[in-house]
Amino acid sequence: MLDVKVNLYECFHCKGEGTCSSGENGNSCASCIKRNELKGSTFYGLLCGSCGGIGKAEPLTERMNKRLAPMLAIILVVSLLALIFWAAFANSTHFSELLAFSSAIIGSVAGFYFSGKGNGT
């Protein structure tokens, strides 16, 4: 697929340690307690809820930018396939135009993602 680089930065919540000590008296904060699905209010040394305990985190905007284009491509292809099947079963008079339009777009999306560029093949 695509050559995706992950940019990890030091987690500011746990200061790069991986365990939360942001609460009162060095305890874990309420957010990390909830993220670890625990009941109670005083826990010490829980995994950081922001970075998952690795001490490094990927910014939310960067994750969204990497996932937005593939998700839009999936939604577009599935909706066009549904439109083609609906037109076929409904005996639409515009089936041939819908098929030509949809097949060109689906072919372009499939060609982009499965062309082999970017992975060295």
Lookup: tokens for 74: 């999936």
Tens digits of residue pLDDT in 25-39? 888 888 888 887 888
pTM: 0.57
**pLDDT score, position 100:** 94
Q: Would the pLDDT of 120 be above 90?
A: no
**pLDDT score, position 106:** 94
Tens digits of residue pLDDT in 56-113? 887 777 778 778 888 999 999 999 999 999 999 999 899 999 999 999 999 999 998 8
Compute the distance between CA of residue 92 and CA of residue 86 in angstroms, rounded to an integer: 8
Closest CA to 11 of 49, 67, 46, 38: 49
Lookup: tokens for 104: 């060109």
